[in-house]
Structure 1
Amino acid sequence: MKKSQLTKGEFGEFYSGYIDRLDDEAELISSLQDNTEEMIEFFKSIPSERWNHRYQPDKWSLLDMVQHIIDTERIFQYRALCFARNEQKALPGFDHDLYVLNAGAEHRTGAGLIEEFKAVRQSGIYLYKSFTDTMLKIIGNMNDVNASPRAIGFIMVGHAKHHKDIIKNRYL
């Protein structure tokens, strides 16, 4: 399944900024796999003394940022699973600032978060490999926005790329 096969109505306008970060010919599973390696290598390149850095006092640290990426991966994977199983109820949004505030990332290490990201993403790849083409196209509602599991997979990749760019531009 390629990004170019997504149709109107499979994701909200807000998520276009994430999906547009991928080439039209990007394939779903290989994009998830390649992005996993890309993110792990990038995270490993961050000097240990930078993990607690905040580019402004009121902004997230790098530990917070990576924890946010992990939390968001889990939430998107849950949403994709619900939609693939034809959940009819709308799924709620989440307050990412509240999640970061309560995650305790300041007690974590960069190495620990890298391993957790790898495990969470790998779990998501297995989940996506289990979906049939029909499952990938089922539309559900998340936070008052319609989305399909296949769109959510591309959103996950774009979300990680988005935060990688923020880290490169503001933290390193």
Structure 2
Amino acid sequence: MTISKLSSDEYNPYYQPYIDKVGGGDIHKTLKNNREVVTSFFKGISNDRLSFRYAEDKWTIKEILLHVIDTERVFAYRALCIARQDKTKLPGFDQDAYVAYCHANERTLESLLSEYNNVRAATVSLFESFDDKALTQIGIASESALSVRAVAFIIVGHENHHLQIIKARYL
């Protein structure tokens, strides 16, 4: 499944910047390979920077990582529901409320990365289980159309987006 096969009617335009952050190639391989990229990236950050905020109202690097994990879980659930042709209109989620109660700063980087890798392994397994028909199913999430295959691109693009922010504003 490559990005060239995605159609803009498979997702809300809000997600276009995330999709634009995914390179060409097979998204299944990208989901697997990005796991190593993300893990290496966070392991390369010093402990004192992990709790840094560049402004009072901004998240720490640990909170960003847990936000990426939470978001992947939410989107994987959306993909599962849509692939199984569940017609439930899936709600949005308040990312700031999730971060406020995530307690990421009380956890070790090793704990967060273990969770990240477990969630990614589950996501990879989920997407490998979908056949072509499931991948092209479209449902409603956050009051907009969303295809199963678009979810994979959004997950990778979303984490790439946050890596870019960390590089630009935190390091």
**TM-score band (shorter)?**
over 0.9
Q: How does 1:37-116 map to 2 (within 5 A)?
A: 37-116=36-115
Corresponding residue number in structure 1 for 2:122: 123
SS of the aligned residue for 2:21 comes to: coil
C-alpha separation in 2, matches of 1:105 and 1:146: 32
* Dislocated runs of 4+, deviation >4 Å: none
Shift of 1:26: 2.2
Cα deviation digits, residues 22-54 of structure 1 (max 9, x gap): 23x321100101111111110111111111111
- In structure 2, what is the equivalent of residue 155 of structure 1? 154
Residue 169 of structure 2 is matched in structure 1 by: 170
Q: Which runs of 5+ in 2 are unaligned?
A: none
**For this pair of structures, how many residues does the alignment match?**
171
| Structure 1 residue 145 displacement after superposition | 1.2
Percent of residue pairs identical? 43
The equivalent residue for 1:9 is 9
TM-score when scaled to structure 2? 0.97
Match of 2:34 in 1: 35
Relative to the length of structure 1, the TM-score reads 0.97
| 2:140 alignment partner, SS class | strand
SS at match of 2:10: coil
Alpha-carbon separation, structure 1, partners of 2:21 and 2:65: 19
- Cα deviation 1:51-86 (Å, max 9, x = unaligned): 111111121111111110000010000000000000
Question: Which residue does the alignment assign to 2:22?
Answer: 22
Q: Secondary structure at the match of 2:145?
A: strand
**3-state secondary structure, aligned to 2:165:** helix
* Matches of 2:57 and 2:20, distance apart in 1: 29
Q: Distance in 2 between matches of 1:22 and 1:109?
A: 29
CA–CA distance in structure 1, aligned partners of residues 25 and 107 of structure 2: 33
What is the identity, as a one-letter code, of the residue corresponding to 2:37? E
Structure 2 CA distance, aligned partners of 1:123 and 1:149? 15
CA distance in structure 2 between the aligned counterparts of 1:137 and 1:9, rounded to whole angstroms: 11
How many Å apart are 1:107 and its aligned residue? 1.2
Secondary structure of 1:147's partner?
strand
Deviation at 1:8, TM superposition (A): 2.9
- Output the aligned Cα RMSD: 0.8
